[in-house]
């Protein structure tokens, strides 16, 4: 019996050939992850596109190294920083 989580149909079932020559059932996520900006919903650049890819990367490769990197897109961050500075200057 497979792991309970794999019984969900959100996993694709794929037959894969192992190095020994056997074909075995493998489970893969159907949906690719798409990281989106928390403010505008735009797809984020510099973030991995799949779970498999994400697992292999180091922390610094998973999102941009700036404040709110991986949370907000560069445009939203720019606007928020500008507005924060302008409010504090008054």
Point out which residues bind Zn ion (CB under 5 A). 37, 39-40, 42, 73, 76
Least separation in angstroms between residue 58's CB and Zn ion is: 25
User: Minimum CB separation from Zn ion for residue 76, in Å?
Assistant: 3
Distances (CA, A) of 71 to 10, 11, 19, 64, 83: 25, 26, 39, 9, 18
| Closer residue to Zn ion, CB minimum distance, 13 or 42 | 42
Q: Minimal distance in Å, beta carbon 79 to Zn ion?
A: 8
């Amino acid at each position: 019996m497979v792991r309970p989580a794999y019984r969900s149909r959100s996993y694709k079932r794929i037959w894969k050939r192992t190095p020994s020559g056997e074909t075995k059932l493998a489970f893969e996520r159907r949906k690719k992850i798409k990281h989106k900006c928390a403010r505008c919903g735009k797809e984020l650049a510099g973030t991995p596109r799949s779970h498999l890819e994400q697992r292999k990367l180091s922390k610094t490769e998973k999102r941009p190294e700036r404040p709110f990197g991986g949370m907000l897109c560069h445009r939203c961050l720019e606007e928020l920083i500008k507005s924060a500075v302008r409010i504090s200057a008054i």
